[in-house]
């Protein structure tokens, strides 16, 4: 575990860069993490991020398929929003733990 300053806030992160404490997350932190991943966030991104956070709080397992069935985006749109790792990158930006389905 390391401490990193993101958007002016000191947060604890895993060796992969995921927030240790999802309560430290805010939109500014999300924007800065996204910038590091070369993703510019839109309202649709935030809809997905909030969905992921809600599902994590409800202790539901996250998969690309479940996000695709959320009614917010389909799988193709998820890949367009978060290229090169839709669940991995969206989870990191959402400030939630790395999903077990991600390598």
pLDDT in tens, 18-54: 999 999 999 999 999 999 999 999 999 999 999 999 9
Whole-prediction pTM value? 0.93
**CA-closest candidate to residue 17, choices 80, 102, 77, 76:** 102
- Burial (CB < 10 A; 0-12, 13-18, 19+), residue 82, is buried
Q: How would residue 99 be classed by pLDDT, with cut points 50, 70 and 90?
A: confident
Q: How would residue 103 be classed by pLDDT, with cut points 50, 70 and 90?
A: low
Which DSSP string corresponds to 63-87? -HHHHHTSSS--HHHHHHHSTT-HH
**Is 72 known to be catalytic?**
no
* Choice among 48, 52, 73, 102 that is catalytic: 102
Across all residues in the chain, what is the average pLDDT? 93
Q: How would residue 101 be classed by pLDDT, with cut points 50, 70 and 90?
A: low
Mark 18-45 as b/e (b = at least 16 C-beta within 10 Å): bbeeeeebeeebbbebbeebebebeeeb
């Amino acid at each position: 575990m390391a401490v990193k300053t993101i958007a002016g806030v000191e947060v604890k992160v895993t060796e992969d860069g995921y927030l240790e404490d999802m309560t430290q997350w805010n939109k500014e932190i999300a924007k800065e993490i996204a910038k590091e991943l070369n993703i510019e966030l839109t309202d649709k991104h935030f809809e997905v991020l909030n969905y992921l956070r809600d599902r994590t709080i409800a202790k539901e397992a996250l998969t690309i398929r479940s996000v695709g069935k959320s009614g917010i985006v389909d799988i193709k749109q998820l890949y367009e929003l978060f290229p090169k790792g839709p669940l991995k990158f969206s989870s990191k930006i959402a400030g939630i733990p790395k999903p077990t389905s991600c390598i």
